[in-house]
Amino acid sequence: RVDPPGAREQVTLLLEHWIKIWNDAGGVEQKCVQYLTILQHQNVLKTDESTEVFLRIAAEVCVEFCVKSGAKAEGSDLPTLNYKVIDAFASMLTILVKYASADPQSLTSRVHLLNRILGTLHRVLVADSEGPRGARPMAFDQRPYFRVFANLLRDLTAPDPVVDANNLQVLGAFANAFHGLQPQSVPAFAFSWLELISHRTFMPTLLLAKPAQKGWMLMHRLLVDLFVFMEPYLRRSQLPLAIKTLYKGTLRVLLVLLHDFPEFLCDYHFSFCDVIPPNCIQLRNLFLSAFPRTMRLPDPFTPNLKVDLLPEIAQPPRILSNYVAALSYNGIRQELDNYLKNRAPKSFLEWLPGRLRASPSQAASGSASYNVASINALVVYIGSQSILQLQKSPQNTAIGHLPTMDVFQHLVTTLDAEGRYYLFNAIANQLRYPNNHTHYFSCVLLYLFAEVTVENSEVVQEQITRVLLERLIVHRPHPWGLLITFIELIKNPRYNFWAKEFTHCAQEIERVFESVARSCM
Amino acid sequence: ADGTGLTAPLDQSSSLAALEASMRSMPTNHDRDRVRPYTPRNPYQVPERFFGPVPSPIFEDPAIFEKFQADTLFFIFYYQQGSYQQYLAAKELKKHSWRFHKKYKTWFQRHEEPKLTTEELEQGTYVYFDYQGTYELKSGWCQRIKYDFTFEYEYLE
Amino acid sequence: LGSDLTTLGLNLNSSKSLYSTFSSPWADGPSKSEPQFQIPACYYM
């Protein structure tokens, strides 16, 4: 970009003037508002273009000053930054939002200016991180930008009579800005980004804002952004240090969500499972072990626990993720609905496994040769249809008699080992807190274990066992539904579990089973 | 910020390189903690060994508020507006069954069980904290009793 | 096998919210600066 002649000097002078006013005001906002008259007098905010030029150059000048004036810290090659100018700059932006928008008493007007400011900061940050001509220099310092955003978050989410209870608009502006700065777009800002989206003036406020689902949608999108970035690296067995560090921070954020906002994790569990690689078992368990705060989970180790008599298992879980989308995308939904209604044509069952294969581009990217999202969606959709059918059918209708079980059984017998693994994973992903999905899918998994009719059925039984076991042997937390399903499998003589060859195939495996069984029984 | 203009994603190795390079400038406590500048309202030169230059950190501890009497809590509430201390004082007053009336901006406490309770209000005798004084009672800053007062719940904070 | 999540510096048994003292994804313990708090607008005179 070519700045208008003299623009940089003018903006620098204006900034110096602002810093003096800000220092003299001692933090009293009203005393700073006089500065707006100076800006108006110089036509700085007269047009969108002049506003953009002012904001951009001001951001560049302040960041440059901050980085250059850092003091060398002992034992570190990175200078400790002095934030006086950055803090003053952020305060100026706050004053602009509150008092300089077209109609300061209008929240919409304020948010419009806030969006403009955040957009400018985004562009300056990206340009800085990429360096001249897209060279992406290694010298980018994320800290001044982090500081500006953190200050803006603190100051603009504080109670204000104009914003009042409608802070979702302000938070939404920040959420959109952070979505634009997501790690996949600006990896050099990823650490700051995670800290900002989990900031205590942002994340909890967004999740507590009314109406609840709008704030939740925005937070959900940001977490998906995070996992979309990390997914290719988490799939590998060895994590680079930077990813390990980012992952550790992610775990902490998720633990705060699990403790303070478990319902949020519950209601979006489906889409989170979609973006986590299958090998991240503890991470997935974190999502799946969330349960509503009002619920008291019965101890899964209670002797003679009658799960089917628990009142909670009659209730459906709330699923806010759009799990039907993946089915509509590859044409499965219509054919599936037809089959579930008419139990015909039989050719549907032959056709289905092929539709679950990954597209050539998905396969080329090195992920599974199956479209795992489609399998996940298919399983949940079948489950919800099945439960509806059971509710309409006479009492004691067995799940094995439903057309939905035809689909499961056919897939079990025709998919290869990899496909079956994803299928069982998708079923096990529904083993969560007591609700009718947990109960249904627990029954499905146990039914498939007991009724598998392929040649060498122990291969399938071993696979079901493996899917459950690998979720149990990792460190806690463990979802309630997972525990009760495994306990049922090993305790109920119907499944004849301990007679299976794979439970004794190797000493290490025997020890693992004994250890898990001991803690279960 | 308006959702357009997302930067095109890099390939994985470039992303990882950028992420790894950014580890050196990860924010630390120095970068995230903004110290609120303390400016005394009426500066006066006093020996530092008697009066510290900044408020004592003991007032950041919620536990000390349990030791304050109601008058002290009211003082903090009205004279430290917008501060963490006002928040803690309000919390402590609520623990002692004081309730804030949003219209009169004062604290009320039931002197006895209400004579009447509906979904919208309760009525009875209350103690309230007079921080302003009224036309009839010019001197404020004390607790007063009010008979037959109606506390509408729409004004309950 | 994952890791022991109880060693990440968060009091998972706390009866209070964790977010009010959560300072950073990479901090080993709760924030030492004042916790997050909200003052209702009606508290301002």
Give, rounded to a whole angstrom, the gap between the first and last alpha carbons of chain A. 70
- Name the one residue in this structure whose structure tokens are 């939740």: A216
Burial class of A15 by CB neighbour count within 10 A (0 to 12, 13 to 18, 19+): buried
What is the residue whose two structure tokens read 């939002």?
A: A97
**d(Cα A519, Cα A473) in Å, to the nearest integer?**
11
Distance (Å) of CA A317 to CA A126, A268, A274, B81: 41, 11, 18, 44
Return the percentage of chain B with pLDDT > 70, whole number: 85
> Which ranges in C1-45 belong to alpha helices (H)?
none
Share of chain B above pLDDT 90, in %: 58
Amino acid at A445: L
In this prediction, residue B1 carries a pLDDT of 31
Indicate whether A2 pLDDT > 80. no
On chain C, the residues whose CB falls within 8 A of the CB of B60 are 34
Instruction: Give the mean pLDDT of A7-26.
Output: 91
pLDDT digits (tens, 9 = 90+) for A210-265: 888 889 999 999 999 999 999 999 998 789 999 999 999 999 999 999 999 999 99
Cβ of C43 and B77 within 8 Å? yes
Interface check for B81 against chain A (CB to CB < 8 A): the answer is: no
What count of CB pairs under 8 Å joins B to C? 35
Question: What average pLDDT does range A368-389 have in this prediction?
Answer: 92
Alpha-helical (H) ranges within A181-299 are 190-197, 203-208, 212-234, 241-260, 262-267, 269-275, 281-288
Greater pLDDT, A151 or B37 = A151
Q: Taking residues A148-158, report their average pLDDT.
A: 93
Contact B106/B92 with Cβ under 8 angstroms? Answer: no
pLDDT of residue A270: 96
The answer to whether residue B3 scores a pLDDT higher than 50 is no
Q: Which two tokens stand for residue A192?
A: 């700051």
3-state secondary structure of C37: coil
Min CA distance, B109 vs chain A (Å)? 26
Q: What is the pLDDT of residues A79-117, one digit of tens each?
A: 899 999 999 999 999 999 999 888 888 888 899 999 999
In the predicted structure, residue B72 carries a pLDDT above the cut 80: yes
Among the ranges given (A83-97, A118-132, A386-400, A490-504), the one the predictor scored with the smallest mean pLDDT: A386-400
CB hemisphere CA count around A267 (13 angstroms): 16
Mean pLDDT across chain B: 86
> Buried b / exposed e across C29-42, counting CB within 10 Å, b at 16+?
ebbebebbeebeee
Q: How many other CB atoms are found less than 10 A from the CB of residue B18?
A: 23
- What confidence category does residue A379 fall into, taking pLDDT thresholds of 50, 70 and 90? very high
Determine the average pLDDT of the residues in A1-17: 90
* Cβ separation C3–A475 shorter than 8 A: yes
Burial environment of residue A214 by CB neighbours within 10 A (0 to 12, 13 to 18, 19 or more): middle
The pLDDT of residue A301 is: 86
Closest partner CB to C36 (pick from A200, A245, A473): A200
Return the SS3 of A364: helix
Local confidence band at B9 (pLDDT 50, 70, 90 cut-offs): low
pLDDT greater than 50 at residue A59: yes
Quote the minimal CA–CA distance from B71 to chain A in Å: 26
Examine the pLDDT at A444 and tell me if it is beyond 50. yes
What does the pLDDT read at residue A325?
A: 86
Cβ within 8 Å, pair B16-A83: no
Question: Is C26 within 8 Å of A245 (Cβ atoms)?
Answer: yes
CB–CB contact A282 C39 (8 Å): no
Please answer yes or no on whether A191 and B23 come within 8 Å at the CB atom.
yes
On chain A, the residues whose CB falls within 8 A of the CB of B27 are 142-143, 146-147, 191-192, 195
Give the residue from chain A lying closest to B11, CA to CA.
A184
Mean pLDDT of A172-194: 97
What pLDDT, in 10s, does the model give residues A285-308? 999 999 999 999 999 888 888 888
A276: pLDDT strictly greater than 90: yes
Give residue A450's pLDDT band: very low, low, confident or very high (50, 70, 90).
Answer: very high
**Percentage of chain A modeled with pLDDT above 90:** 66
* ipTM of predicted complex: 0.91
Residue A365: predicted pLDDT: 66
Judging by beta carbons within 10 Å of its beta carbon (0-12, 13-18, 19+), is residue A351 exposed, middle or buried? middle
Residue B138 above 80 pLDDT?
A: no
Mean pLDDT of B42-71: 83
Q: Which of C20, C31, C43, C45 to mutate to test the interface with B (most CBs of B within 10 A)?
A: C43
Q: What is the pLDDT of residue B36?
A: 62
Residue B150 has pLDDT above 50, yes or no: yes
Model pLDDT, residue B2: 35
More confident residue, A365 or A477: A477
Whole-prediction pTM: 0.87
Residue A89's contacts (CB-CB under 8 Å, 6 or more residues apart) are: A15, A58, A59, A62, A148
Chain A residues with CB-CB distance to C under 8 A?
159-161, 164, 191, 194-195, 198, 200-201, 203-204, 245, 248-253, 255-256, 259-260, 281-283, 285-286, 473-477
pLDDT of residue A266: 97
Averaged pLDDT for residues A420-428: 97
Which chains touch B (3+ CB pairs under 8 A)?
Answer: A, C
Which of the residue ranges A164-178, A350-364, A416-430, C10-24 would you say has the lowest mean pLDDT? A350-364
> Are the C-beta atoms of A269 and A288 separated by less than 8 Å?
yes
Which residues 3-32 of B are in CB contact (within 8 Å) with A?
3, 5-10, 12, 14-27, 30-32
| pLDDT beyond 50 at C24 | yes
Closest alpha carbon to C4 in A474, A291, A482, A285? A474
